[in-house]
Amino acid sequence: MSPDRPAVGDLFRRFRERLAVEGPARPGEHGGHAPKAGRNGRRRGGGGEQLNVPPVEFTSYYGRPILKAPVWKWDIAAYLFSGGLAAGSSLLAAGGQLTGRPALRRAGRVTSLAAVSASTFFLIHDLGKPARFHHMLRVAKLTSPMSMGTWILSAFGPAAGVAAVAETAPRLPEHGLLGLGRKLLPPAGNAAGLLAAVTAPALATYTGVLLADTAVPSWHEAYPELPVIFAGSALASGAGVGLLAAPTGEAGPARRLAVAGAALELWGSHRVENRLGLLSEPYATGTAGKLLRAGRALTAAGVAGALAGRRSRMLSALSGGALLAASVCTRFGIFHGGVASARDPKYTVVPQRERAQRRAGQQPHVNGPGAGPNGG
Amino acid sequence: MPDANSLYGPLDPAPDAGWVEAGPRMGFFTDTSVCIGCKACEVACKEWNGVPDSGFDLLGMSYDNTGALTANSWRHVAFIEQPRPAGHRTPPFADNPTGPPVSAESAASAAGTVTDTGTVPGVPPGSPEAAARMAAGPEFLGMPGAQPPGRATGAETRSDFRWLMMSDVCKHCTHAACLDVCPTGSLFRTEFGTVVVQEDICNGCGYCISACPYGVIDQRKGDGRAWKCTLCYDRLGAGKTPACAQACPTESIQFGPLDELRERAAERVATLHDRGVPEARLYGHDPTDGVGGDGAFFLLLDEPEVYGLPPDPVVTTRDLPKMWKRAGVAALAMAAAAVAAFVGGSS
Amino acid sequence: MAEAHPVGFQWVMEAKKRGAKVFHVDPRFTRTSALADTYLPIRAGTDIALLGGVVRYILENELDFREYVLAYTNAATIITDQFADTEDLDGLFSGYDPERYSYDQGSWKYQGHEQQRESEDTAKERETAAGLRHESHGMPVAATTQRDETLQHPRCVYQILKRHFSRYTPEMVSRICGIPVEKFEELARAWTENSGRERTGALVYSVGWTQHSVGVQYIRTGAIIQTLLGNMGRPGGGVLALRGHASIQGSTDIPTLFNLLPGYLPMPHHADHPTFDEWVDSIRHPGQKGFWGNSRAYAASLLKAYWGDAATPENDFCYGYLPRMTGDHGTYQQVLNMINGKVKGYFLLGQNPAVGSAHGRAQRLGMANLDWLVVRDLFMIESATFWRNSPEIATGEIVTEECRTEVFFLPAASHVEKEGTFTQTQRLLQWREKAVDPPGDCRSELWFFYHLGRVLREKLAGSTKPRDRALLDLAWDYPTHGPEAEPSAEAVLKEINGYEVATGRPLGGFPEAKDDGSTAVGCWIYSGVYADGVNQAARRKSRHEQDWVAPEWGWAWPANRRILYNRASADPEGRPWSERKKYVWWDPDKGAWTGYDVPDFEKTKPPSYRPPDGASGTEGLAGDDPFVMQGDGKAWLYAPTGVLDGPLPTHYEPAESPVRNPLYGQQANPTRKVYTHPVNRMNPSPPEPHSQVFPYVFTVSRLTEHHTAGGMSRTVPRLAELQPALFVEVSPELAGEVGLAHLGWAHLVSGRAVIEARVLVTDRLTPLRVDGRTIHQVWLPYHFGSEGLVTGDTVNDLFGITLDPNVLIQESKVGTCDVRPGRRPTGPALLDLVADYQRRAGMTPDRRVPIVTTGAASEAHERTAGGARDGGGDA
Amino acid sequence: MGLKTFIQGWPVYRQLTGADPLGRGAAAQSARSAALTARTETADSVARSVCPYCAVGCGQRVYVSDGQVTQIEGDPDSPISRGRLCPKGAASKNLVTSPLRQTKVRYRRPYGTEWEDLDLDVALDMIADRILAARDETWEDVDDQGRPLNRTLGISSLGGATLDNEENYLIKKLFTAMGALQIENQARI
């Protein structure tokens, strides 16, 4: 070898040391394979540390994710919110309708229609082939929450629509064809409003199943809580609308709804952030962690404001806004938490490995070949 | 009427899916102990099914430049280099002047490479540590102490080495989550018991992608639809062997009635154990496993996750009834809360 | 084999299923190694040492298949006392001429044959790659030989062999090859234990073996082992070449080679073959045994096929029309002549030398100095675009505006767009049906050359120049069909098969060939492929409908025989050696040879037949002489003549090696073909100084996903995506020594070029302990170039040009280089880097590579057959 | 299409009336899927061919529809390959239909910087002229001792080993007749 070279082995030792320091993924400088830094088993974003999950050991094919992360974009998270909002506000509307609180009714019905229209837009917009959205109506599959949701939405949507349109009745002329409408719309609206209200809880909670019925570890394992969280979040957002729209005199039920919703939501999200062990980690770390923590804070603030602001229209409105924002944060938080859990193979391998070992009767897991038929 | 095991447990899926006079269930048995990693399966599949290219980047994952199963790669040959003993074989580098192995570092670097496969999510980069452990040698530098028990021997030189190769494919599960959650009926169970995406129906909702416990199905950019192995539905209809299995030079990919394949596989494992390959084990053959057994199952020589397979997959729809129940409870609670809010208290 | 011939490898896996033990010897751990029972890493270029070790193991332990060896080989034959071995002459054999770097074979002969001197001018034989002729037959020796059936005579072949290989101890094998002793012994044990009466072992090599300066001797050594162990001519045995091109076997049978005519008839040499008779006798060797006795008929019939009516016995069948060789006209000599401006025009027919041949730079500089170049290919290959897109453009050695070469690119028809036969690696001809018409201007070679000939003949019509007679008298009337006037391939195949001139009846086989001009045969060894007017190569009887030999699938030359010399599968009395291994045997009731295959023997010649005195040709062969193409009907453990670099294989270091030959003072093959030319500077090897400037051994080969120069794979998306970049595989130890990182860049420097590649640091490569030193080897695939979907530097640029003396094939499987981290310099800086290395290594333009590195040369010169020589046979 | 057939074609209807209430199989099958057949079944013709890559000689079946190659796969009848192919053989269709495939004659004049188009017949004629010129320029009748040579060393050829035997036969025959001796082949490499 050329004389200007260090002794055999030196460079290799340096190479290994450098590698140990830098972490090995350094092909970025050649061939343009920039490594996506940051998603790297041991690193944990802000807020994670307090959890103190010990670094877990697992193997994976070149460390690549085993699962395909959801291809759903922001609009599905937005749909989770808008769907819940539609459901919550239609309940609010029905309540207002039955207990003679026109402001609540009106606000509820209008919001409900707006929200359900937005939902439909989000759903179609997220499709790879939007022009084929109607293929959703080919089948009715009990095994597919999305199919079920489609049918629920197709029941709820028109009802919410009619109910909202009915609110225009007072503005119609006394006579003529439209006059007929002026007479007929209110009863139709009431009927539709009640129909919407009946389907509303289904609309609000099926989305929990929609996320849970996947291989995404942190979604699936959270299946007992997700519907509760989403129900609560829906109620809270509905209440938020009430607080924003209704005069303090009518806002009583909204305040109580806010409390109830917040209770369900907080209980649920507390559970998923603690009950799932390793799979709680994605909810406590990174974007999801930030969003969920923000959601909690906003909910608390919203409820407090709602209770404190009995007399103040302004405070009520603020707390209503807070509740709506809280609902948004919660939905996006849950969404991102799941996506993160699908992207890191450890959330796939470790729990399954532990499950397999439990089944195998606590045999110590020996990894790698040469360790016998089962061990490797 | 649906079987009691419609969602979970042993089941012959075709009759359950309404195929009244269905033939025997057809499937793949992929014996990785005879795979030579030639990738004929990848090419034959693409040629028959007109699957687009999936990127022209060097990934450095040994000889794997495909990376993973994607919408544009329905067969994927995995390559794993390990300084481990290979069954009864003579250690390849015994008495050569070798130092410590480098497989772990190389794998760790390769974990960072990316290529545009023309699909989403495609082949994202991964965790270097997990990659390193996959290929961990007796002495594993770079991330000290990151080895699972049983790996570390602290040897200063390498003499053992093995090169694992495995052609991965859609598992055509007995209980296929992708199929169950598909809202359009695009994914359906064929008369052969296989799981197929109908390209004229799929509207790209993406639900199947999150539902697959193996990370097989994937979305093609621009096109927007989900794509995966069809087990050559059209060829089966014509009584032909799927393209990959017909091409496979060493019969690593075997096609046939699933029952026969399972028997053959069991014999093969027994033979290998006799011949001093204790690490041979089957994967996805068991009708009582979390997905009711795979229509495409494997003979592996290491832990499933080393090949990028989940160690203990369970079909998500197993828990669907419970999920609906929880949703119902939540819905009732919601309704109750609403009623309470209005009737309880005044003002 | 799994790497380059995966489908063929299925049969290895079948054997493995049935309990066969698979050994794989390769410098790098490949996909084959992954499936083998035992893998032996070896230093590139040392296979003879390894195989020689096995020969020694067999002889020392008397593990040869003695009955077989006695009856069917020349083990008992006694050699003249003038013979001196490498053991006596420090690596040279007797008869070495240090001026001409070649041997006088007079002292190698069988006892009593000293005075037969067909062609002792081996220097000339080397120039004309005479060795290639022996693809179908051995060199001449007289029928009768002196034998010692006890094998005790000190000068019998068996004892000479034993002495010659006595040095190849397991320790020596380990010193040379870097293979640990235990590994070697495991191989030797398994090989011998699985050979003999009941079992056979097969030796499979890829033709990288031929790409060495001692390539022919590699294969000789393998053949010696297989012969000693009785594995030749028997099912499950043999020496199997894995050839890398669809019809590369066919293209030597029906050669497009300067020194051969169809059927391995030699191209005439201006000095040796002035007349038809002398030419024919040089093939036939009057008095010799075996099937070459009829060569006059084969030769006459070929000329008859060429010149038809014009060819008559009176004018020696137009023998005078044949161009004559005067020396080496091989492809590498041509390239150097191109650089020197001696060649005007160049045809490239589905060939990409800019990437695929050794010393790509010389290839491209040669092409840049032509008047015109015709490239016929499916794709735009590097050899067609050298004038605008080549490394020399970057370095300024080729300037587009100043490059005068006129280039015609003619698109070719693909294998599905024309019909015709390929001859695969086991001599099997398979006819391809045409599926579709070629697109656009794409045409078959058949079309191009037929119409080129037509146009040439039209242009020359009426010419009175004697030189044009050969073209004008050419039998060139082939039926054509279709709008493009495509010539009929079947008509050509019929001519190749041969026919009766008078009636046009296709011949049934070469025994029907006549020397009186009544038959025309295009390639005598292919005669029978069109027997009974049926295209036998088109037969496609399903394997399910015939036995495992599948004789009705295609057609194998000669005579549809699937295993050559299969008479050896039976014992001297004609009984199968064993029931397990029965293949061809004598049926006393029918009084004929029978079996699964077409017997490679006269059908009714009984095992007991003994030739009458003075019998020659086929009558000369006894009933137990299975090797019917050999001059004495025996398999040659020792080659008394014909192999230009020695009667026995000897380990020589590659032309470029970092290691001093541990075996003998003679470093490298003393008869190798060396070209001293400014562009062709060879890296220094010991005992020359400065060899440490190029401390590493590099070797190249194929990837499963690509095909040779990449013209048919880098252009195909399906394949390009599977291996998208050039990479170099290095061991962790070398990576550490040089400072290379996985997926980083490295560049390799030789005395000719610098190339860069991405780095794969892998445990699949290992350093070797060679003669007390640690030797690092690197491996690269040679598929890459500057055109196509995926591109990369051309690895063959690193090689210089040094050839095997027997067949003039270059050493392009091993060389020395330096390895440096990072990307290579570009432009003129690249030339500076090479120049700097040349300076440090003392590679001055006028430097002559030392051929003889032992003092024993002069002594070897003395030991010629009575010192007598004849200068060049101006008889 | 009548309303009735439309309704009956509706998978939901089939779910309610058929044996697939969950809509996961028979009921969900589309008309296209039901009508699907392998294109090899509907091919106009099939050619028995041989893989053009290495020398193992694997059997291929080439399926053609409307004058286009629609599929190339292994020939199960072949005793050599038993219907199997390596990645290269499996890519044969991609080879013959590759977008990079050249189908037009290209010409680069001396000192030219770009390719130009050229008519095939013209090209053939120009090449013939150049052969004759090179031949005349470099012809050797006899050696210095008057022994016949009958040759030109001004023309070289390097022929691929992927050509048919028939083609190699004509190449050798023609070049030999024109006195061109320097005919070489991959077999030398």
Does B174 lie at the interface with A, CB-CB under 8 angstroms? no
Is the pLDDT score of A20 beyond 80? no
Local structure of B83: helix, strand or coil = coil
Domain residue spans of chain C: 566-626, 673-840
- Distance, CA of C167 to CA of C173 (rounded, Å): 9
Output the CATH code of domain C673-840: 2.40.40.20
Give Cβ neighbours of residue C9 (< 8 Å, ≥ 6 apart): B36, B249, B250, C1, C2, C32, C35
Q: Would you state the structure tokens that stand for residue C432, as one six-digit string?
A: 């391809």
**pLDDT tens-digit series, residues C643-696:** 999 999 999 999 999 999 999 999 999 999 999 999 999 999 999 999 999 999
Shortest CA gap A49–chain D (Å):
45
Tens-place pLDDT, residues D126-171: 999 999 999 999 999 999 999 999 999 999 999 879 999 999 999 9
Q: Is B103 annotated as a binding residue?
A: no
Of residues A310 and B41, the one with the higher pLDDT is B41
Residues 1-60 of C with CB under 8 A from D: 4-8, 10
Judge: D96–C330 Cβ closer than 8 Å, yes or no: no
Distance of alpha carbon B123 from alpha carbon C781, whole angstroms: 26
Looking at residue C631, what is its pLDDT?
77
Tell me the backbone φ, ψ of residue C796, rounded to 5 degrees: -65, -10
Average pLDDT over residues A261-278: 94
Q: Contact C237/C583 with Cβ under 8 angstroms?
A: no
CA distances from B94 to B100, C399, C766 (A): 13, 53, 10
Neighbours of chain C (3+ CB pairs under 8 A): A, B, D
The boundaries of the domain holding residue B127 are 13-142+157-314
Q: Do D33 and B233 touch (CB under 8 A)?
A: yes
Please spell the DSSP secondary structure of C302-340, one letter per residue: HHHHHHGGG--TTTGGGGGGS--B-S---HHHHHHHHHT
- For residue C106, what is the DSSP state? G
pLDDT greater than 90 at residue C40: yes
The whole-number pLDDT of residue A43 equals 35
**Contacting subunits of D (3+ beta carbon pairs below 8 A):** A, B, C
Q: Determine the distance in angstroms separating the CA of B202 from the nearest CA of chain C, rounded to an integer.
A: 26
Task: Check CB contact under 8 Å for C358 and D189.
Answer: yes
Residue % of chain A over a pLDDT of 70: 81
Indicate the pLDDT class of residue C511, thresholds 50, 70 and 90. Answer: very high
* CA distance readout (Å), B112 to A266, B304, C236: 38, 21, 47
Does residue B128 lie within any of the structural domains? yes
Beta bridge partners of D63: D46, D71
Residue C778 above 90 pLDDT? Answer: yes
Mean pLDDT of chain C: 94
Q: Is the ipTM of this complex over 0.90?
A: yes
The average confidence (pLDDT) of chain A is 84
Tens digits of residue pLDDT in C520-555: 999 999 999 999 999 999 999 999 999 999 999 999
User: Would you state the pLDDT for residue C616?
Assistant: 77
At B344 the pLDDT is 72
Mean pLDDT value of segment A90-119 = 95
User: Looking at C110-168, which runs of residues are DSSP E strands?
Assistant: none
Q: Which pLDDT score is estimated for A142?
A: 96
Which of residues 29 through 48 in chain C touch B, CB cutoff 8 A?
A: 29, 31-39, 41
- Give the domain ranges of chain D: 3-35, 45-96, 121-188
Using DSSP's 3-state secondary structure scheme, residue C397 falls into: coil
* C-beta separation of C41 from C27 below 8 A: yes
C615: pLDDT confidence band, cut at 50, 70 and 90? Answer: confident
Which residues in chain C touch residue A7, judged by CB atoms under 8 angstroms apart?
none
DSSP states along C757-780? EEEEE-TT---EEETTEEE-EEEE
Q: What is the pTM of this model?
A: 0.94
Token couple for C851: 């051929």
Check D37 against B234: CB less than 8 A apart: yes
Region C27-54: mean pLDDT is 97
- Neighboring chain A residues of D28 at a CB cutoff of 8 Å: 138-139
pLDDT at A31: 33
- Report, in this order, helix, strand and coil percent for chain D, each rounded to 5: 35, 25, 40
| Nearest-angstrom CA–CA distance, C40 and C187 | 9
Residues 54 through 113 of chain A touching chain B, CB cutoff 8 Å: 57-72, 87, 91-92, 94-95, 98-99
Calpha distance A253→A88 (Å, rounded): 12
**Residue B159 clears pLDDT 80, i.e. is over it:** yes
A15 touches C: beta carbon within 8 Å: yes
What lies within 8 Å, CB to CB, of C697 at 6+ separation is: C27, C43, C44, C45, C657, C658, C775, C776, C777, C778, C814, C815, C816
- Give the pLDDT band (50/70/90) at residue A53: very low
With b for 16 or more beta-carbon neighbours within 10 A and e for fewer, the B15-30 pattern comes to bbbbbeebeebbbbbb
pLDDT at A73 over 50: yes
Q: How confident is the model at residue A32 (pLDDT cuts 50, 70, 90)?
A: very low
Q: At what angle do helices A286-308 and A252-274 cross, to 10 degrees?
A: 150
Continuous segment of H or E residues that includes residue D52: none
- According to DSSP, the β-strands at C592-595 and C584-587 are antiparallel
Is B312 known as a binding-site position? Answer: no
- The CA distance from D46 to D69, in Å, is 9
Say which residue, C145 or C107, is predicted with more confidence. Answer: C107
**Is the predicted pLDDT of residue C98 greater than 90, yes or no?**
yes
How close C527 comes to chain D (CA, Å)?
Answer: 13
Predicted pLDDT of residue C139: 55
Contact D25 B249 (CB under 8 A): no
**Contact D10/A138, CB-based, under 8 Å?**
yes
Q: Which of residues 83-112 of D touch B (CB under 8 A)?
A: 83-87, 89-91, 93-94
Structure token digits, residue B320: 């669907």
B197 touches chain A (CB under 8 A): no
Choice among B332-341, C120-129, C347-356 with the minimum mean pLDDT: C120-129
Confirm or deny that B144 is annotated as ligand binding: no
**Nearest by Cα to C427 from C530, C305, C537, C302:** C537
The pLDDT value given to residue C143: 59
pLDDT at B154 over 60: no
pLDDT band at residue C137 using 50, 70 and 90 as cut-offs: low
3-state helix, strand, coil in chain A (%, to 5): 70, 0, 30
Q: Determine how β-strand C696-701 pairs with β-strand C777-781.
A: parallel
Asked if D182 and C408 come within 8 Å (Cβ–Cβ), the reply is no
Task: Report the pLDDT value the prediction gives residue C856, as an integer from 0 to 100.
Answer: 84
Q: Compare CB distances from B337 to A136, A139, A260 and report the shortest one's residue.
A: A260
What DSSP assignment string belongs to C651-699?
A: --B-SS-SS--SS-S--B-TT-EE---TT-PPPP-TTSTTGGGS-EEEE
Q: Which of C358, B318, C817 lies closest to A355, judged by CA?
A: B318
Which CATH topology does D45-96 take?
Answer: N-terminal domain of TfIIb (2.20.25)
A202: alpha, beta or left, given left = phi > 0 and alpha = psi -120 to 50? alpha
Residue C575: per-residue pLDDT: 97
Rounded-to-integer distance, Cα C234 and Cα C232, Å: 5
Please give the tally of structural domains in chain B. Answer: 1
Both tokens assigned to C52: 């020689």
Interval C295-330: pLDDT, tens: 999 999 999 999 999 999 999 999 999 999 999 999
What integer is the mean pLDDT of A340-359?
95
Contacts of residue C92, defined as CB under 8 A and 6 or more positions apart, other chains included, come to C86, C666, C670, C852, C854, C856, C857, C860
Indicate the angle between helix axes C181-193 and C170-177, nearest 10 degrees.
120
Give the single-character DSSP code of C147: B
**Structure confidence at residue C144 as a pLDDT band (50, 70, 90):** confident
Q: Quick one: closest CA in A to B270, which residue?
A: A373
Residue in D closest to A144 by C-alpha:
D22
Residue B343, in any domain of the structure: no
**What Rg value do the Cα atoms of chain C yield, rounded?**
27
Using beta carbons and an 8 Å cutoff, which residues of A are at the interface with D?
Answer: 137-143
CB contact under 8 A, A31 and C743: yes
The pLDDT of residue C284 is: 82
Q: What is the pLDDT of residue D158?
A: 97
CATH number, position B260: 3.30.70.20
Predicted local confidence at residue A258, as pLDDT:
95
**B327 domain residue, yes or no:** no
Q: Does C205 touch chain D (CB under 8 A)?
A: no
D171 to chain C: which residues are within 8 Å by CB?
256, 349, 445, 449
Q: Taking 90 as the threshold, does the pLDDT of residue B109 lie above it? A: yes
- CA atoms of A253 and C262, how far apart (whole Å): 103
| Residue contact B305–A223, C-beta within 8 A | no
* Beta pairing partners, B188: B196
Q: How confident is the model at residue A179 (pLDDT cuts 50, 70, 90)?
A: confident
Contacts with B, D 36-65, CB within 8 Å: 36-41
The share of chain C scoring above pLDDT 70, in percent, equals 96
Query: Angle between the A252-274 and A226-245 helix axes, to the nearest 10 degrees?
Result: 150
Domains in chain A, CATH or no CATH each = 74-352 (1.20.1630.10)
Name every chain D residue with its beta carbon within 8 A of the beta carbon of C379: 98, 100-102
The pLDDT value recorded for residue C168 is: 98
C497-515: average pLDDT: 97
pLDDT band at A29 (very low <50, low <70, confident <90, very high): very low
Dist CA A240 CA A251 (whole Å): 10
Residues of B in contact with C741 (CB under 8 A): 109
Q: Report the neighbours of B using a cutoff of 3 or more CB pairs below 8 angstroms.
A: A, C, D
Question: Given a contact as 3+ CB pairs under 8 Å, which chains touch A?
Answer: B, C, D
